[in-house]
Structure 1
């Protein structure tokens, strides 16, 4: 089992990164929040979880043990695979997931693409008592490191594509991105793909909190 990975960041995308360690470049899938802390050409260390299947070995990376722990506990719920667990953490920070489970907040979970009311209820039942809040401050309000701006052409499409990869339909992803741009027009000026993706996911998570009344 690969518990962590330390090496030089060779590439950072919207949903993955390549980290070179011991002369081998390893592909790591991660949330936009984790990827925002990785910079090409610099050293990095991520906590990891290796998913082994008959035809593949897939590595998932996390900036903190808190994120890794919530990811692994989510995998214990029937119907939640690694991609869906990663999508949950892309929308909600680890502590927010713990609070949602503890408070049986279905609406917060259904804001994640791929989780409907039925699966949300199932997750809450199966994870009851396994994801107690720690009292930690959620990182959603913290400032995020920035990455180089994307070219002007088709930069919105890159964000929509990344959200489709997390489970949204193209139509819904476009709707979410446009709503975030309307609320934060300064993002359109900066043309920072990663920043727009993180802002859109934060808006999705914030909408869940408002609708649940918490």
Structure 2
């Protein structure tokens, strides 16, 4: 079993949050981009609803579902819908057009590189795009260190 984590850095604390699936972590991070939503509220949202339910509620403007979460009132729900409606999509929509996904969820080199890149501060989308570009090359490196180095060069362009 794998545990997907994210580190939230504040002036007074370093807090590590763990999730069963990468999809939960990505939604946790995305929800926090909304003004007034921090880790506690994002975690409460995922405690009440599954990621699929949150995406559905946001895309369909289901304020009733969002206000069932402790700490989210009508105004917060409206702000969440307004800012995230167009940004959240079903996980399948995030698959590159080639149909090849750089990660396999098996802890392979691609997953390790993605975790390293997001740990260094790039967004999941940026990291996935760089990794997809690197792995699409015929001479793509196979070792994690070489793959990471090449992806970092790609992000530096």
TM-score by length of 2: 0.56
Q: Which has the higher strand share?
A: 1
Distance in 2, matches of 1:122 and 1:64, equals 26
Mapped to 2, the partners of 1:53 and 1:108 lie a distance apart of 30
The answer for the alignment partner of 2:65 in structure 1 is 108
2:3 partner SS: strand
Give 1:88's match in structure 2, choosing from 11, 34, 45: 45
Q: CA deviation at 1:86?
A: 0.3
**2:55/2:89 contact within 8 Å kept:** yes
More helix by share: 2
Q: CA deviation at 1:55?
A: 1.1
Residues 4-19 of structure 1: pairs in structure 2 closer than 5 A = none
Q: Which runs of 4+ in 1 moved over 4 A?
A: none
User: Is 1:61 paired with 2:18?
Assistant: yes
Q: Higher relative contact order by CA 8 Å / sep ≥ 6: 1 or 2?
A: 1
Could you tell me how far 1:79 is from its partner in structure 2?
Answer: 1.0
- Please, which runs of 5 or more residues in structure 1 have no aligned partner? 1-43, 136-214
- 1:130 equivalent in alignment to 2:100: no
Shift of 1:106: 0.5
* Equivalent residues, number: 93
| SS in structure 2 of the partner of residue 45 of structure 1 | coil
Alpha-carbon displacement from aligned partner over 1:63-110 (angstroms, at most 9, x marks no partner): 001111111110111111001000000000011100100101111100
Structure 2 segments unaligned to the other structure (5+ residues):
93-157
Q: CA deviation at 1:134?
A: 4.0
TM-score (ref. length: structure 1):
0.42
Counterparts of 1:111 and 1:57 in 2: how far apart (Å)? 29
Q: Which residue of 1 aligns with 2:142?
A: none
1:45 lines up with 2:2 in the alignment: yes
